[in-house]
Amino acid sequence: MASLDDSHLQKWKRSLRKKLLNCLVLIENHKKPSEELAYELKKAKECFNNWRDSGDFEKVSATYPLEEPKDLNFPNLDE
């Protein structure tokens, strides 16, 4: 069985950890909310969503049978 390449998952996990550590540093240094903190939190959420969404993606397809149309008499538009 082939092993799955999870390097992209590790990338998002490392990026999330880095962003969260940056948030902790900003909280300790500024003591008040700042634009920098808001930006790092936004980027942390983006990393989390990408890490979560790409981890369990599985392509699924389905085919549904359609009934054959019974009335194919279209009006004549040339008249």
- What is the tens place of the pLDDT at every residue in 18-45? 999 999 999 999 988 999 999 999 999 9
Among 26, 66, 61, smallest CA distance to 43 is for 26
| 26-27-28-34 Cα dihedral, nearest 10 degrees | 60
- The answer as to whether 37 is a domain residue is yes
> Rounded distance, CA 71 to CA 79, Å?
20
Residue 74, phi then psi, degrees to nearest 5: -90, 150
Structural domain count, the chain: 1
Query: Is residue 50 pLDDT above 80, yes or no?
Result: yes
Structural domain that includes position 37: 21-49
- The answer as to whether 45 is a domain residue is yes
> Rounded distance, CA 29 to CA 14, Å?
23
- The answer as to whether 31 is a domain residue is yes
pTM for this prediction: 0.61
